[in-house]
Chains A and B, each alone.
Chain A
Amino acid sequence: MSTIEAAAENAHDAHGQHHDHDHPSFLAHHFDTPEQQFDSGKLGIWLFLVTEILFFSGMFCAYAIFRMLRPDVFEGCSQFLNTKLGAINTGVLLFSSLTMAWAVRCSQVKQDRGLVGMLAATLSCAMIFLGVKAIEYSHKWEMGLLPAGMFFYDPANPHPESHTNYLFYICLPFMILLGGVVIWLLTSLVTKNRFHIQCAMPLTVAAACFFVGIGLGMVLESGDSEHVSDSHHSEVDHLAGNSPQVTMINSGDTEVLERLAADATNSGAKSELTARQRQFETAGTTIVQEGDDIAGAIVSVEENVMTKRKAGVFFSIYYCMTGVHAIHILVGIGFLVWLLVRAVRKDFNPQYFGPVDYVGLYWHLVDLIWIYLFPLLYLIR
């Protein structure tokens, strides 16, 4: 039996007086036991995750339909999505899932410093992810790879002179955030406010990690030319060139045909002869051998997919899915910061770790979505 006694400074209640309940302050009045409180919250967060899954499924459905109907567009556009950056982001998010699960464990065994460290690590990974995303997005905007309607990519001029530095504008809010947190850290150091110092330090590290992500993205993007355009060629299958030059073969019946065609009244024979001659010309001068494998068909036709209706829609789907995912990351960052402050305040114990667990579930869902997004968007061939 282990009822955790609420610390004196935490004891407060809605009536403004000190009850002599024997229930700890973290147990809400309408619950009998901490376990019941935890279970209720757990069911609540699972239901929320169900709504999130259904929410994303709408976008996955759009992706599935468009890919089913226009696979050529996907192949043509996949060259613009840098697989390396996507893989780095996957690794970073998986690691953040590890640290989040570890944080939940720390909260359950009352390892307060471990908890703060793990939450800070999760936050840092989230910021690195956003930094890499910022590089990807700004690079695409410069090239004109925008959602349909704003799409203006030009294969003949893939890197137009851009007047707006998109990367700077994306980084601006994060720079302001980093500046704010650093100022908070410095003032708390000066005023020697322990609680504030303990909060501000991990948050400074996390805010700085956004720029680690930017740096990572820049290094990988420049060292990797993702514009290897494997454009499709129009091809006609033909034989390997060991073909001698030949003239039109005059088999027996062609001679007869020529003699008949010489007579002006035989227009049918004449046109057959001209047809044969033209056919000979277009067929080229290769000789067909016995047992040669000829398809004689057009293997693929170059079709320009870099239009608003095709590549534009692809990028609409791309920005919608990754953008909404990034918004979820931002919301998760907000919750993690809240948890971090509560963890520094040592709010959690083996009977009250619900908030950490619930935010953990949300974070794992965000990772889950990315696990599916990555192969579907970045690993198309």
Chain B
Amino acid sequence: MSAHGDSKDGYDFAHPIPVPMLLAVFGALVVLTIITVAQASFDIGSLDIVVVMVIATIKAALVMAFFMHMAYDKPFNVIVFLSSFAFVALFLIFTMSDSSQTSPDFEPVIEEAATEMASPAVEAPAASE
């Protein structure tokens, strides 16, 4: 789909992506995947999920813009699709904030016997009961 409007007579509307562009996007995706796996060997504490999500979003944006052709698509289609993410964000934010605030009240932490209790490691001497 051409971004500059419909074709004159409604027949020449195909917009094939050039092969080098397809390959370049694929290359970028593979590099980002390698980075994602590699960051697992660096200890960045609780920041790791943020980093990983940011990289995943970049990959998603590449797939959406080029493979799914959104960069050249009608803006209305783009709005429709991106609005779904807005609703997902609302869903997650409300549910998670409610859960974090109210769960401790009604979610008891139950200690139960496992199928077989793993033998405890070094006992803490200071914790002698």
Contact = CB atoms under 8 A, between A and B. Distances in A.
A2 B11 contact: yes
Interface stretch (A13-21, A248-256, A300-308): A300-308
A364 B10 contact: no
Interface in A98-128: 98, 100-102, 104-105, 108-109
A61 B91 contact: yes
Contacts of B105: none
A41 B35 CA distance: 37
Interface string A18-51: 0000000000000011111011001100110110
Nearest to A298: B124
Contacts of A233: 121-122
A327 interface: no
Interface residues of A, number: 81
A170 interface: no
Nearest to A229: B118
A276 interface: no
Contact of A351 (B14, B68, B114, B118): B14
B78 to A, nearest CB: 9
Contacts of A105: 16-17, 19, 22
Q: Report which residue of B25, B26, B68 has the largest number of chain A beta carbons within 10 angstroms of its beta carbon.
A: B68
Interface in B80-126: 80-81, 83-85, 87-88, 91-92, 95-96, 99-100, 103, 107, 110, 112-118, 120-126
Contact of A69 (B69, B103, B114): B103
Given A1-B11, A60-B92, A379-B37, A371 B122 contact: no
A91 B32 CA distance: 11
Nearest to A2: B11
B122 A234 contact: yes
A233 to B, nearest CB: 4
Given A54-B84, A94-B26, A381-B40, A100 B11 contact: no
A372 B26 CA distance: 17
A50 B68 contact: no
A157 B16 CA distance: 56
Interface in B20-71: 22-23, 25-26, 29-30, 33, 36-37, 40, 43, 48, 52-53, 55-56, 59-60, 63-64, 66-69
Interface stretch (A148-156, A200-208, A317-325, A337-345): A148-156
B19 A102 contact: yes
A64 interface: yes
A262 interface: no
B120 A302 contact: yes
B77 A33 contact: no
A53 B67 contact: no
Contacts of B76: 43
Contacts of A60: 88, 92
State which size class the interface on B falls in.
Answer: 35 or more
Contact of A375 (B52, B63, B95, B115): B52
Contacts of A197: none
The A interface, classified by DSSP as helix, strand, loop or mixed, is helix
Contacts of A282: 125-126, 128
Given A94-B30, A102-B19, A375-B53, A236 B11 contact: no
A164 to B, nearest CB: 19
B81 A368 contact: no
Q: Report which residue of A35, A153, A156, A351 has the largest number of chain B beta carbons within 10 angstroms of its beta carbon.
A: A35
Contact of B59 (A39, A65, A235, A371): A371
Contacts of B22: 98, 101-102, 105
Contact of A235 (B1, B115, B122): B122
Interface of B: 1, 6-7, 9-17, 19, 22-23, 25-26, 29-30, 33, 36-37, 40, 43, 48, 52-53, 55-56, 59-60, 63-64, 66-69, 73-74, 76-77, 80-81, 83-85, 87-88, 91-92, 95-96, 99-100, 103, 107, 110, 112-118, 120-128
18 contacts: A1-B9, A36-B10, A43-B76, A43-B80, A60-B88, A61-B96, A69-B103, A94-B30, A109-B16, A144-B115, A233-B121, A282-B128, A302-B120, A306-B118, A365-B68, A367-B67, A374-B56, A379-B36
Interface of A: 1-3, 32-36, 38-39, 42-43, 46-47, 49-50, 53-54, 57, 60-61, 64-65, 68-69, 83, 87, 90-91, 94-95, 97-98, 100-102, 104-105, 108-109, 144, 152-157, 231-236, 282, 284, 296, 298, 301-302, 304, 306-309, 350-351, 353, 357, 360-361, 364-365, 367-368, 371-372, 374-376, 379, 381
